[in-house]
Copies of this chain bind each other. A is one copy, B any other.
Amino acid sequence: MTQLAEKLVWIAADWGSSHLRLWMMTGNGDVLHRLSADCNLDDLAPDQFEPTLIDLVAGFLPQGRVIPVIACGMAGSKQGWAEAPCAATPSEPPSAESAIRVDTKDQRLDVYILPGMKQNSPADLMRGQETQIAGFLAANPKFDGVLCLSGPHTRWAHISAGEVVSFRTFMTGELLALLANQSLLRHTTVSSAWDADAFATAVEDAMSNPAILASKLFSIHAEASLFDQSNAIGRAKLSGLLIGAELAAARPYWLGQEVVIIGENDLLTAYQTALEPLGMPVKTASAETMTLAGLSAAYIALGRDKQ
Contact B214 A245 (CB under 8 A): yes
Interface size class for chain A? Answer: 35 or more
Q: Is A179 an interface residue (CB 8 A)?
A: yes
Contact A223 B123 (CB under 8 A): yes
- Per the 8 Å Cβ criterion, residues 10-59 of A in contact with B are 17
- Copies of this chain, complex-wide, total 2
Chain B nearest CB: distance from A36 CB in Å? 20
Q: Given A211-B211, A211-B249, A249-B215, is A222 in contact with B124 using a C-beta cutoff of 8 Å? A: yes
Contact A182 B182 (CB under 8 A): yes
Q: Which residues in B have their C-beta under 8 angstroms from that of A125?
A: 221-222, 225-226
The one of B123, B212, B215 that contacts A226, using a Cβ cutoff of 8 Å: B123
Q: With the chains together, A40 CA to B166 CA distance in Å? A: 45
Chain B nearest CB: distance from A252 CB in Å? 10
Q: Which residues in B have their C-beta under 8 angstroms from that of A2?
A: none
The one of B120, B124, B170, B214 that contacts A175, using a Cβ cutoff of 8 Å: B214
Q: Is A76 an interface residue (CB 8 A)?
A: no
Contact B123 A172 (CB under 8 A): no
Q: Given A123-B227, A179-B178, is A218 in contact with B78 using a C-beta cutoff of 8 Å? A: no
Q: Is A248 an interface residue (CB 8 A)?
A: yes
Most chain B CB neighbours (cut-off 10 Å) among A78, A119, A168: A168
Q: Is A169 an interface residue (CB 8 A)?
A: yes
Contact A211 B248 (CB under 8 A): yes
- 4 extra A-B contacts, CB within 8 A, seeds A171-B184, A211-B249: A122-B219, A171-B214, A213-B213, A214-B246
